[in-house]
Amino acid sequence: MSLDQFFAPQSIAVIGASRKPGKVGFEILAGVIKSGFPGKVYPVNPTCEEVQGLKSYPDLKSIEGPVDLAVIVVAAKQAVSAMQACADKGVKSAIVVSSGFKELGPEGAELEQSLVRTAKTAGIRFIGPNCIGILCPATPLNASFAGALPRPGTVGYFSQSGSILAAMVDMSRAADIGFSKLASIGNKADIDEMEMIRYLGDDPDTQVIAGYLETILDGDEFIRQSERISRKKPILLLKAGGTKAGAQAATSHTGRLAGTENAYECVFERAGVVRCESIKAQFDYARAFAYQPLPAGPAVGVIANAGGAGIMATDAIEREGLELAQFTPETTARISLIMENAAITHINNPLDLLGDALADRYEFAMRAVLDDPNVQSLLILLSPHAMTECLATAEAIVRVAKEMRDKPILACFLGASRIEEATGVLRTGRIPSYDSPESAVAALRTMVQYSKWRSRPKRIVRLFPVNRRKVERILERHLRTDQLELGEMDSKEILQAYGFVTPPGGLANTAEQAANIATQIGYPVVLKVWSPDIVHKSDFGGVKTGILNEQEVMDVFDLMMYRIPKKVPNVNILGITVERMYQHGREVILGMTRDPRFGPLMMFGMGGKLVEVLEDVAFYPAPLTSSEAKEMLVRTRTYDILRGVRGDEGVDIDAIAEALQRLSQLVTEFPMIKEMDINPFIVGREGMTPIAVDAMMTLEKPK
Site residues for a second copy, window 599-628 (CB under 8 A)? 609-610, 612-616
Looking at the Cβ atoms of 382 and 448, the one nearer to a second copy is 382
The yes or no reply on residue 552 touching a second copy (CB under 8 A) is no
DSSP 244: -
Q: Which is nearer to a second copy, 616 or 652 (CB)?
A: 616
Among 226, 292, 305, 679, binds a second copy (CB under 8 A): 305
For residue 670, what are the CA distances in angstroms to 371, 435, 471, 626, 665? Answer: 54, 51, 9, 20, 9
Alpha-carbon distance 593 to 591, whole Å? 7
Q: What number of other Cβ atoms are within 10 A of residue 189's Cβ? A: 22
Task: Find the binding residues for a second copy in span 6-25 (CB under 8 A).
Answer: 22, 24
**Which CB sits closer to a second copy, 244 or 701?**
244
27 three-state secondary structure:
helix
Helical residues (DSSP H) of 386-487, grouped into ranges:
390-403, 420-428, 437-454, 468-480
> What are phi and psi for residue 328, nearest 5 degrees?
-75, 160
For residue 178, give Cα distances in angstroms to 138, 159, 182, 234, 401.
Answer: 10, 16, 10, 16, 20
487-526 mask for a second copy (x: CB under 8 A)?
A: ----------------------------------------
Question: Quick one: 494 or 617, whose CB is closer to a second copy?
Answer: 617
Per-residue x/- mask for a second copy, residues 341 to 360, rule CB under 8 A?
A: --x-x---------x-----
- CB under 8 A: which stretch of 167-175, 331-339, 480-488, 554-562 binds a second copy? 167-175
End-to-end CA distance of the chain: 30
Residue 237 Cβ vs a second copy, minimum distance, rounded to whole Å: 13
Q: Which of 36, 58, 241, 671 binds a second copy (CB under 8 A)?
A: 241
Residues 353-412, interacting with a second copy (CB under 8 A): 355, 383-387
**Per CB under 8 A, does 685 bind a second copy?**
no
What does the per-residue mask of binding to a second copy show for 213-232, with x meaning CB under 8 A?
A: -x------------------
Our finding on whether 414 is near a second copy (CB under 8 A) is yes
**Surface-to-core class of residue 445, CB atoms within 10 Å of its CB (0-12 exposed, 13-18 middle, 19+ buried):** buried
CB 527 within 8 A of CB 543: yes
Q: Kindly indicate which of the ranges 46-54, 533-541, 588-596, 695-703 contains the residues binding a second copy, using the contact rule CB under 8 A.
A: 533-541
Is residue 170 within the footprint of a second copy (CB under 8 A)? yes
Amino acid 521 reads: I
Do 320 and 410 touch, CB atoms closer than 8 A? no
CB of 197 to a second copy, least distance (A): 19
- From the list 9-17, 97-105, 134-142, 511-519, the region that binds a second copy by CB under 8 A is 97-105
Q: Is 162 in the site for a second copy (CB under 8 A)?
A: yes
Backbone conformation region of residue 279, classed left if phi is above 0, alpha if psi is from -120 to 50, else beta? alpha
Q: Please, what is the minimum distance in Å from the beta carbon of residue 557 to a second copy? A: 18
Q: Is 646 left (phi over 0), alpha (psi -120 to 50) or beta?
A: left
Q: Among residues 171, 391, 392, 489, which is the contact residue for a second copy, using CB under 8 A?
A: 171
Please report, as residue ranges, which positions from 252 to 291 form the binding site for a second copy (by CB under 8 A): 277-280
Q: How many residues bind a second copy (CB under 8 A)?
A: 78
Residue 640 interacts with a second copy (CB under 8 A): yes or no: yes
Cα–Cα distances (Å) from 151 to 39, 176, 558, in that order, read 20, 9, 79
Question: Does 418 participate in binding a second copy (rule CB under 8 A)?
Answer: yes
Would you put residue 95 in left (φ > 0), alpha (ψ -120 to 50) or beta?
A: beta
Cα dihedral across residues 300, 178, 156, 190: positive or negative: positive
